[in-house]
Copies of this chain bind each other. A is one copy, B any other.
Amino acid sequence: MMPINLKRLPVLFFFFLSIALPQARGQEVGKSLAEKLGYARDAKLIVVHADDVGVTHSVNAATIKALDTGLVNSASIMVPCPWFPEIADYATAHPELDFGLHLTLTSERVYYRWGPVAAKNTVPSLVDANGYFFHDWSAETRPSTHPAVRIDPQDAERELRAQIDRALAMGIRPTHLDSHQYRLIINGKELFEVFLRLGHSYKLPIFVNRDWFAANPYLEGALGRDDIVLDHTVTMEPTVRAEKWAEFYTAALKNFQPGVTEFVIHVGFDDDELKAATRERDTWGAAWRQRDFDFFTSAEFRALLKEQNIKLVTWRQLANTAGR
Residues of B within 8 A of A39 (CB): none
Residues of B within 8 A of A130 (CB): 166, 169-170
Residues of B within 8 A of A89 (CB): 110-111
**How many copies of this protein are present in the complex?**
2
Please determine whether A57 and B166 come into contact, CB atoms closer than 8 angstroms. Answer: no
The CA-CA distance from A117 to B116 in the complex, in Å, is: 11
Cβ of A68 under 8 Å from chain B: no
Residues of B within 8 A of A131 (CB): 117, 162, 166
A82 contacts which of B114, B120, B269 (Cβ < 8 Å)?
B114
The CA-CA distance from A83 to B84 in the complex, in Å, is: 15
Q: Mark A143-170, 1 if CB is under 8 A from B, else 0.
A: 0000000000000000000100010011
Please determine whether B111 and A276 come into contact, CB atoms closer than 8 angstroms. Answer: no
The CA-CA distance from A221 to B166 in the complex, in Å, is: 43
A82 to chain B, nearest CB (A): 4
| Known pairs A58-B273, A119-B121, A271-B273; A112 contacts B83 (CB<8 A) | yes
The CA-CA distance from A82 to B133 in the complex, in Å, is: 12
